């Protein structure tokens, strides 16, 4: 059976198991053949994605093995970038993983925050806390501030507004995340809502 | 963008102004290059000889902040040299419309007619059209408002449609064409040259070259970015470009248009989504106490008298139905009063929120991947204001300068009582969902890996918080719990919050049976349809596979290109309705024939439309139950009530763009008697600390480099990018360096009343010392990606220096032109 790489992604859409071998840098025909066991992308699953830097919307192919990120590169089928990426796009892999300069092992990027943290009043460092505690504490503070600063009527008009809280950001989130943010924040009564479009 | 990235390959002439697209939007350059290879001409106008300028055919320097003078001069040149696209201007713009006889502009004071000193704003009575008659709204069975009589539609009064007076010969002195022409008489080559610091020869070459696209079969495009918007008259900068493109007949053409290269991967989406003070999702007006105290006033004032927005109530009621579900009924105005209404006592846009934190009015702060302690204007003031907060919740992938504002070098954590929560967010490929690029293409990102360790997608974080808050209000009560308890929050699939359920809500559906809609044309104002985001209707509408994004338009990967214009109609989906080039009706003449048959987007064959793109006009109507083609007319801009492109308009601060100087400027205004636009926002705030040109004689502009991005909170955490661009720097023109004894690599102090930063000097011929109104002005340049929070690369915060004043429409700060001084440290 012969199928083009393009057709392959088109058919499956979601992650596909790439036990077959084909070049990732050009659109070539996919066919079963001998596989170099040292090949970087052997036994990887692929999915398509979109770059997270400028607004170009360049396509990506992301390769994952055993649940871990192996490679990110430009999607050669994508009509906008035709496989190319800029310096930022080409380094997307490092947002999650970097090479340890000592051991040459792939390690998680140490800059990443991966646990909920809190900085208490007057403190000079973070403390770790559980998600449950973080959500409970934040919800309590939100409620206290909302209750204390809520404006039910303004100049005789129903306002149902919470003046004491502001929300900023969202231009890097998915549209579905953004709807979650707009609905919860507006739902609390916030009017001070802005994002990077105001920069 | 009115077009999209691939469409750039169709242009004859490019004007990059207020953008460094080769570095900041590298993929745009790929498509410019394709046209360039076919013989297109590329013009770059920029304060700095950028990497984009290095690729261009013509480069012109410019003093930052003088774009309206530059474009005013171009308008005059186009009219004086008869380069305008006459049939286009006559038929598709309001050039022929007669303006109110009271309209005036006083050059001596720099003010338009209608100024109200009490409210410090303009009244628009003299900025409108002369009206022949007003045709009452037609709610008869065949009228545009027939649907208003249906059951379930709230009562309101649709407006009558005004019929403006016109002179199609364009000779009446009161017609907009003549008033516009007169307005720019002052913008002659010598004056513009002196204001902008561009030689007359270069100006003429640029004007002539771009003006050549006024030929009906030529297409010119303008690419811009924050270099145009980050001024206290940024909206008028943008209008000035729009007006030029109307004069040249470039809007709506393949390879034409006005193309904003936006700065974030989904800032188009966040703007669409109404993550902004004044909008609901889909650019509808957010309710206010003063203007829209109830649903009826909203419907009365927001429903348009003509064009598509006569349908606005259908969009808004459907939005309320998605928001509140079955709790929204005709009887309770579809829940309108549960939406929070903006007051008029406080502005609450970004810059103002720091003033309100500073006085203790705002006490809590959510941050969704934004870093204002590094990126807002006058960051030092913003950080001091944040230190007065009770609490902050930052949702991010790294410790940003904002999450760690209490660690700022100029603050003492021991004195700051703010509690800060930092919640770990998932990376873009650790979750699924949609992103919208600058060309309005909606594309799906599949989840490739699990979020690392305990990181979570933002939607899941919203869900956790929301459910906990709802529980607290259910258990304990509190300040009016109704708006919270009546919200519909039903986005779980298999017991877990899921972006695919939200995608369906964004797409819109018939409530009965939850049937996804393929067009917003099917939305109703009677409560039977729900839609979170009307402009996205169709992107996720396949009812046969509602859980499979790859079977939806958002996941489409077809490479067909009908018409050969790089429209790629089958790849992803562009809002609205998969339309790739906005205003495409204007790509053809009044008879519907393309101005250039090799660039045919829409084409009337005599009895039908044969289109390569989705029509941006009424191309067919249902007659006796069957869709019937509508013959060509001149309604090329049907999102406006007058369905026409506007050379002049009663907008907020100016009916026609007029040059004013930056808030902090190295020179006087040579074009009129007023320094700054009368409607500049926040200039009177104490925090602004204006500097004079005597104290701070150096003009400065800020910008990005290709290796880093925005506040650097992502790129400064990637070792490869830090290796490529390790340090902050200041670009100093050679002449200034010589005067101040600064050598390449010297550590320098750059300062003004707001802040002081240390950076290394990069002495360069890329920035110029300009002759402005007879005096030499030095311009320096500062990239703005650094702060203290990173393991790999840190630096001082450049935005400590930028003034927190802004535009009255966009409320965007003036980052791009202000004053500093520089010395060897």
Which pLDDT belongs to residue A38? 86
Angle at B731 between CA B726 and CA B733, to 5 degrees: 155
Distance from CA of B665 to the nearest CA of A (A): 21
Which pLDDT belongs to residue A33? 63
Any A CB within 8 A of B396 CB: yes
Nearest CA in chain A to B403: A119
Distance from CA of B726 to the nearest CA of A (A): 14
CA A72 – CA A110 distance, rounded (Å) = 19
CA B443 – CA B429 distance, rounded (Å) = 13
3-state secondary structure of B12: coil
Measured from the Cβ of residue B664, the count of other Cβ atoms closer than 10 Å reads 26
Q: Which residues of A touch B346 (CB under 8 A)?
A: 163
Query: Is the pLDDT reported for residue A164 higher than 90?
Result: yes
Residue from B493, B487, B429, B425 nearest B459 by CA: B425
According to DSSP, residue A55 is labeled: T
Region of residue B576 (phi > 0: left; psi between -120 and 50: alpha; otherwise: beta): beta
3-state secondary structure of B210: helix
Q: What is the distance in angstroms between the CA of the first residue and the CA of the last residue of chain A?
A: 52
Any B CB within 8 A of A9 CB: yes
Any A CB within 8 A of B286 CB: yes
Angle at B321 between CA B318 and CA B323, to 5 degrees: 110
Q: Which residues of B touch A55 (CB under 8 A)?
A: 25, 261-268, 437-438
Nearest to A177 among B452, B457, B709 (CB): B457
B810 with A72: Cβ contact below 8 A: no
Residue from B222, B224, B182, B236 nearest B69 by CA: B236
A175 with B442: Cβ contact below 8 A: yes
Nearest CA in chain B to A183: B323
A150 with B339: Cβ contact below 8 A: no
Any B CB within 8 A of A43 CB: no
Q: Which residues of B touch A120 (CB under 8 A)?
A: 419
Cis amide bond preceding B576, omega within 30: yes
Q: Which residues of A touch B547 (CB under 8 A)?
A: none
Q: What is the distance in angstroms between the CA of the first residue and the CA of the last residue of chain B?
A: 43
Measured from the Cβ of residue B407, the count of other Cβ atoms closer than 10 Å reads 18
Is the model more confident about A38 or about B476?
B476
Distance from CA of A81 to the nearest CA of B (A): 6
Q: Which residues of B touch A13 (CB under 8 A)?
A: 446, 548-551, 555, 557
Pairing of strands B441-445, B573-574: antiparallel
Any A CB within 8 A of B338 CB: yes
Which A residues 155-174 touch B at CB under 8 Å? 155, 157-174
B30 with A82: Cβ contact below 8 A: yes
DSSP string, B35-78: HHHTT-EEEEE-SB--HHHHH-SEEE---TT-HHHHHHHHHHHH
CB within 8 Å of B82: residues ≥ 6 apart: none
CA B749 – CA B327 distance, rounded (Å) = 60
ipTM of the complex: 0.97
A91 with B721: Cβ contact below 8 A: yes
Region of residue B75 (phi > 0: left; psi between -120 and 50: alpha; otherwise: beta): alpha
Q: Which residues of A touch B350 (CB under 8 A)?
A: 168, 194, 198-199
CA A179 – CA A161 distance, rounded (Å) = 19
pLDDT under 50 in chain B at which residues? none
Nearest to A187 among B26, B484, B719 (CB): B484
Question: Tokens in use for B263?
Answer: 């700065």
Nearest to B571 among A79, A121, A151 (CB): A79
Any A CB within 8 A of B470 CB: no
CA B129 – CA B112 distance, rounded (Å) = 16
B434 with A157: Cβ contact below 8 A: no
Q: How deeply is B462 buried, as exposed, middle or buried, from its count of CB atoms within 10 A (0-12, 13-18, 19+)?
A: buried
Are the C-beta atoms of residues A52 and B265 closer than 8 Å to each other?
A: yes
Any A CB within 8 A of B417 CB: yes
A164 with B28: Cβ contact below 8 A: no
Beta bridge partners of A50: A59
Handedness of CA A53, A57, A62, A68 (dihedral sign): positive
According to DSSP, residue B711 is labeled: T
Beta-carbon contacts below 8 Å between A and B: 507
Any B CB within 8 A of A72 CB: yes
Any A CB within 8 A of B469 CB: yes
Any A CB within 8 A of B350 CB: yes
The long-range contacts involving B735-738, CB below 8 angstroms and separated by at least 24 positions, are B735/B769, B735/B776, B735/B778, B736/B698, B736/B769, B736/B778, B736/B780, B736/B822, B737/B761, B737/B763
Any A CB within 8 A of B416 CB: yes
Which pLDDT belongs to residue A4? 38
B469 with A143: Cβ contact below 8 A: yes
Nearest to A160 among B338, B453, B465 (CB): B338
Distance from CA of B274 to the nearest CA of A (A): 7
Nearest to B413 among A123, A152, A160 (CB): A123
Distance from CA of A188 to the nearest CA of B (A): 6
Question: Tokens in use for B12?
Answer: 């004859």
CA B195 – CA B69 distance, rounded (Å) = 7
Nearest CA in chain B to A129: B421
Which of B7, B270, B459 to mutate to probe the A interface, most A CBs <10 Å? B270
B266 with A141: Cβ contact below 8 A: no
Any B CB within 8 A of A79 CB: yes
Distance from CA of A42 to the nearest CA of B (A): 16
Q: Phi and psi for B654 in degrees, rounded to 5? A: -155, 135
Are the C-beta atoms of residues B614 and B580 closer than 8 Å to each other?
A: yes
Any B CB within 8 A of A107 CB: no
A179 with B506: Cβ contact below 8 A: yes
Distance from CA of A104 to the nearest CA of B (A): 14
Q: What does pTM read for this prediction?
A: 0.96
> What pLDDT, in 10s, does the model give residues B645-681?
999 987 789 999 999 999 999 999 999 999 999 999 9
Distance from CA of B400 to the nearest CA of A (A): 10
Which pLDDT belongs to residue B142? 87
Nearest CA in chain A to B407: A124
H/E element holding B353? helix B350-358
Query: Is the pLDDT reported for residue A16 higher than 90?
Result: no
Question: Tokens in use for B155?
Answer: 């009562």
Which B residues 206-235 touch A at CB under 8 Å? 226, 230
Any B CB within 8 A of A119 CB: yes
Distance from CA of B746 to the nearest CA of A (A): 28
Which B residues 427-466 touch A at CB under 8 Å? 427-439, 441-443, 445-450, 452-459, 462-466
| Per-residue confidence band for A32, with pLDDT thresholds at 50, 70 and 90 | low
């Amino acid at each position: 059976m012969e199928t083009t790489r393009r057709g392959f992604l088109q058919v499956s859409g979601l992650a596909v198991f790439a036990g077959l071998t084909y070049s990732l840098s050009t659109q070539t025909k996919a066919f079963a053949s001998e596989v170099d066991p040292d090949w970087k992308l052997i036994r990887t699953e692929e999915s398509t994605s979109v770059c997270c830097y400028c607004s170009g919307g360049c396509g990506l192919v992301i390769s994952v093995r055993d649940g871990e990120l192996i490679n990110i590169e430009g999607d050669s089928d994508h009509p906008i970038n035709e496989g190319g990426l800029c310096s930022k796009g080409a380094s997307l892999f490092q947002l999650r993983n970097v090479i340890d300069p000592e051991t040459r092992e792939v390690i998680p990027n140490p800059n990443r925050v991966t646990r909920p943290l809190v900085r208490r009043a007057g403190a000079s460092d973070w403390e770790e806390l559980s998600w449950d505690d973080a959500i409970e504490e934040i919800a309590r503070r939100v409620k206290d501030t909302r209750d204390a600063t809520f404006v039910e009527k303004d100049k005789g008009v129903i306002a149902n507004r919470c003046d004491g809280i502001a929300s900023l950001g969202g231009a890097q989130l998915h549209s579905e995340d953004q709807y979650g943010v707009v609905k919860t924040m507006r739902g609390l009564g916030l009017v001070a809502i802005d994002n990077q479009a105001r920069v | 963008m009115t077009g999209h990235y691939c469409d750039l390959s169709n242009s004859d002439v490019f004007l990059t102004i207020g953008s460094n697209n080769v570095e900041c939007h590298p993929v745009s350059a790929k498509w410019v290059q394709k046209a360039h290879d076919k013989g297109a001409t590329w013009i770059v106008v920029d304060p700095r000889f950028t990497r984009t300028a290095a690729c261009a055919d013509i480069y012109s320097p410019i003093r930052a902040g003088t774009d309206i003078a530059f474009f005013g001069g171009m308008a005059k040149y186009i009219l004086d040299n008869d380069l305008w696209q006459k049939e286009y201007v006559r038929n598709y713009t309001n050039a022929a419309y007669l303006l109110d006889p009271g309209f005036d502009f006083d050059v001596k004071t720099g003010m338009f007619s209608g100024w109200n000193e009490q409210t410090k704003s303009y009244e628009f009575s003299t900025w409108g059209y002369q009206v022949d008659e007003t045709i009452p709204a037609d709610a008869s069975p065949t009228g545009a408002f027939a649907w208003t009589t249906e059951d379930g539609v709230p009562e309101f009064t649709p407006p009558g449609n005004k019929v403006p007076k016109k002179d199609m010969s364009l000779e009446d002195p009161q017609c907009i064409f003549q008033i516009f022409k007169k307005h720019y008489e002052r913008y002659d080559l010598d004056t513009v040259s002196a204001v902008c610091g561009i030689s007359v020869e270069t100006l003429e070459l640029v004007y002539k070259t771009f003006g050549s696209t006024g030929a009906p079969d030529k297409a010119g495009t303008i690419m811009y970015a924050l270099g145009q918007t980050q001024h206290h008259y940024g909206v008028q900068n943008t209008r000035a470009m729009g007006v030029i493109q109307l004069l040249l007949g470039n809007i709506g053409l393949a390879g034409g248009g006005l193309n904003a290269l936006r700065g974030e991967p989904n800032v188009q989406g966040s703007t669409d989504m109404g993550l902004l003070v004044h909008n609901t999702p889909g650019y509808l007006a957010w309710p206010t106490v003063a203007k829209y105290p109830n649903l009826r006033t909203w419907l009365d004032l927001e429903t348009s008298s003509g064009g598509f927005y006569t349908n606005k109530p259908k969009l808004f009621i459907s939005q309320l139905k998605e928001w509140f579900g079955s709790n929204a009924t005709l009887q309770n105005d579809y829940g309108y009063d549960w939406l929070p209404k903006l007051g008029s006592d406080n502005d609450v846009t970004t810059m103002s929120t720091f003033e309100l934190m500073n006085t203790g009015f705002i006490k809590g702060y959510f941050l969704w991947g934004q870093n204002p302690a590094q990126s807002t204007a006058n960051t030092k003031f913003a950080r001091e204001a944040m230190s007065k907060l009770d609490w902050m919740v930052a949702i991010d992938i790294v410790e940003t300068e904002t999450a760690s504002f209490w660690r700022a070098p100029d603050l003492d954590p021991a004195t700051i009582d703010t509690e800060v929560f930092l919640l770990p967010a998932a990376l873009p490929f650790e979750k699924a969902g949609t992103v919208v690029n600058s060309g309005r293409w909606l594309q799906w990102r599949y989840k490739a890996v699990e979020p690392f360790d305990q990181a979570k997608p933002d939607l899941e974080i919203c869900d956790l918080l929301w459910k906990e808050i709802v529980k607290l209000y259910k258990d304990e009560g509190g300040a009016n719990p109704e708006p919270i308890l009546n919200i519909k929050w039903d986005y779980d699939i298999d017991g877990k919050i899921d972006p695919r359920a939200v995608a369906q809500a964004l797409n819109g559906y018939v409530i009965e049976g939850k049937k996804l809609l393929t067009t917003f044309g099917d939305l109703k104002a009677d409560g039977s349809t729900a839609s979170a985001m009307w402009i996205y209707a169709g992107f996720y509408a396949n009812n046969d596979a509602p859980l499979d994004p790859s079977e939806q338009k958002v996941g489409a990967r077809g490479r067909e290109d009908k018409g050969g214009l790089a429209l790629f109609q089958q790849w992803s989906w562009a809002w609205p309705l998969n339309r790739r080039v906005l205003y495409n009706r204007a790509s053809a003449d009044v008879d519907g024939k393309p101005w250039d048959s090799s660039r045919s987007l829409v084409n009337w064959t005599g009895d039908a439309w044969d289109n390569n793109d989705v029509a941006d006009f009424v191309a067919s109507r249902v007659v006796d139950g069957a869709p019937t083609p509508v013959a060509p007319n001149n309604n090329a801009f049907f999102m406006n009530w007058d369905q026409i492109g506007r050379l002049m308009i009663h907008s907020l601060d100016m009916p026609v763009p007029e040059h004013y100087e930056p808030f902090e400027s190295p020179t006087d205004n040579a074009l009129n008697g007023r320094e700054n636009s009368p409607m500049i926002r926040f200039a009177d705030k104490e925090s602004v600390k204006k500097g004079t040109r005597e104290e701070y004689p150096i003009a400065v502009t800020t910008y990005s480099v290709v290796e880093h991005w925005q506040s650097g909170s992502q790129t400064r955490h990637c070792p490869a990018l830090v290796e490529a661009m390790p340090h902050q720097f200041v670009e100093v023109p050679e002449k200034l360096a010589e005067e101040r004894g600064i050598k390449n690599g010297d550590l320098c102090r750059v300062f003004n009343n707001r802040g002081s930063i240390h950076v290394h000097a990069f002495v360069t011929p890329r920035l110029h010392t300009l002759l402005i109104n007879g005096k030499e002005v030095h311009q320096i340049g500062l990239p703005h990606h650094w702060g203290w929070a990173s393991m790999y690369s840190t630096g001082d915060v450049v935005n400590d220096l930028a003034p927190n004043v802004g535009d009255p429409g966009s409320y965007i700060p003036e980052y791009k032109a202000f004053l500093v001084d520089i010395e060897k440290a």
